[in-house]
Amino acid sequence: MALCETEMANMDQILIIDDDVELCSLVAEYLGPEGFKVEAIFDGKRGLERALNGPQLLIVLDVMLPGLNGLDVLRRIRSTSKIPVLLLTARGEDVDRIVGLEIGADDYLPKPFNPRELVARIRAILRRTKTAPQSDPIPDVVRVGEIELDPATRTVRQRGVPIEFTSVEFNLLEVLLREAGRVVAREELVDTVLSRKFSPFDRSIDMHVSKVRKKLGDSDNGTELIKTVRGVGYIFTLAREQAGSDAK
């Protein structure tokens, strides 16, 4: 049954930027019944313009685009916007995935892919990026050492200086801060932060940890705020452990 104009207007809008017209049509066919309205643009320059000015909740962005490639589009989006971006990469192109995550992609999906997995990834990203309803209790501000994280405003300060994080990076840091002093397994981080099952071949959570470390200036002053526990996961060190590291 066709949707009326009012129902269409109330649907969550997804922008897909990909020069594969057939793929865009297929994605639209799958996302429509799931409650999403899809707009497709087939080149990088026009896609960037729409991404910066459109009403969409999420962007599905292909790396290989005519005019302006997907990684350049992502860089320009991230210079002004935190909108969630799901990157489409060629299967086996690890460099594209690594660079995409470093630039600020929320997730990636290699081509060819099952459209149902795309829908699942989109829903997972939107679940973790949408703000909680006002009726829900507002979580307390988290303070560990020089780091202060406010879930209500989704802001992070280090020694009083604000630091910009993507939605995934913010959620990752919040989990590590709330569990400061305890090792958090990679499986737990993938499940909680990326909302998917852990795969030993998926290194995206490690890339997000690396980005958080860089933004916190980890190791720049001789301290290591987020430590790797080989074969297990990560731990955000407590203030006394950081002080002990400085004393060495």
**The CATH number of the domain where 180 resides is what?**
1.10.10.10
Is 218 in contact with 245 (CB distance < 8 Å)? no
Q: Does 7 have pLDDT greater than 60?
A: no
203 shares a domain with 108: no
Tally of residues, the chain: 248
Tell me the C-alpha distance between 238 and 144, whole Å: 7
43 and 148 housed in the same domain: no
| 199 lies in the same domain as 159 | yes
Q: 238 vs 169, 228, 230, CA distance in Å? A: 20, 14, 19
Q: Supply the DSSP symbol for 185.
A: E
Model confidence, pTM: 0.68
pLDDT at residue 55, as a whole number: 87
pLDDT at residue 243 greater than cutoff 50: no
Mean per-residue pLDDT for 138-147?
A: 86
Mind listing the pLDDT tens digit for each residue in 167-223? 889 999 999 999 999 999 999 999 888 888 888 778 889 999 999 999 998 765 567
Q: Are residues 77 and 159 in the same domain?
A: no
Is 166's pLDDT higher than 60?
A: yes
Residues 179 and 219 in one domain: yes
Q: What is the β-pairing status of strands 36-41 and 12-17?
A: parallel
Same structural domain for residues 14 and 123? yes
Whether the CB-CB separation of 78 and 103 falls below 8 Å is answered with: yes
Q: Which domain holds residue 167?
A: 142-247
3-state secondary structure 11-64: CEEEEEECCCHHHHHHHHHHHHHHCEEEEEECCHHHHHHHHHHCCCCEEEEECC
pLDDT band at 133 (very low <50, low <70, confident <90, very high): very low
DSSP secondary structure of 139-180: PPPEEETTEEEETTTTEEEETTEEE---HHHHHHHHHHHHTT
Where is 235: in which H helix or E strand? strand 233-236
For the cut 60, the answer to whether the pLDDT of residue 246 exceeds it is: no
Least confident range from 85-99, 171-185, 229-243: namely 229-243
If asked whether residues 97 and 159 sit together in one domain, one would say no
Residue 53 covered by a domain: yes
Residues 62 and 36 in one domain: yes
Q: Is there a domain that residue 137 lies in?
A: no
What is the CA angle 47-48-49, rounded to 5?
Answer: 90
The residue that leads in pLDDT, 246 or 217, is 217
Handedness of CA 174, 180, 108, 94 (dihedral sign): positive
Q: How many domains does the chain have?
A: 2
Q: Which of 108, 129, 150 is the last residue of a domain?
A: 129
